Structures are given as structure tokens and as C-alpha cells.
Amino acid sequence: METYRVLRIEEQLYGCEELPEGQPVLCDVLLENAAGERRVLPYPDAELTALDINEGDTIALTDHKLSKVK
């Protein structure tokens, strides 16, 4: 498990193309760890909302799954 701060959440741009049937809307989540290393993780928008993950939050990343650190 690694912990990160969420620096930015941006919905991926799909342009005039529509998503294929059943494909979730993805956001690019910019994360930064304590060492200052950054990474971008594509993550479903609905899951971010359900987990109440927002910019500025501290999160844990385990097996490509996010969880909010209290």
C-alpha cells in the first residue's frame, strides 16, 4: 500500500466520439507521494464520487484500487 495526495482530477476528453456501450467515464487522477514522485492513474468517475475522493485528499493505493485515508 502506498499513500498519495490527490493533486488534480480531470475527466478524460472523449471529443465528439461517444463511449462504447457499458464503458465507464474515466478521470485522470494526478497523484503525488511523500517523495514528490507523481503519477497519473485513470480511474472511473463514479467510483471517485462513491469514495468521496477529491483534490487535496490523501489516499491509499493498493492493487490499483483507491481508498480514502482519514
Residue type, 67: S
* Fold (topology level) of 1-12+23-66: OB fold (Dihydrolipoamide Acetyltransferase, E2P) (2.40.50)
**pLDDT score for 69:** 93
What are the beta bridge partners of residue 65?
62
**pLDDT score for 12:** 86
**pLDDT score for 15:** 66
70 residues of the chain, pLDDT tens digit each: 899 999 999 988 776 777 777 888 899 999 999 999 999 999 999 999 999 999 999 999 999 899 999 7
What distances in angstroms separate CA 21 from CA 2, 10, 12, 31, 49, one per listed residue?
Answer: 33, 22, 17, 29, 21
**pLDDT score for 58:** 97
Comparing CA positions, the residue from 12, 22, 16 lying closest to residue 42 is 12
What is the residue extent of each domain of the chain?
1-12+23-66
* Cβ atoms 14, 45 nearer than 8 A: no
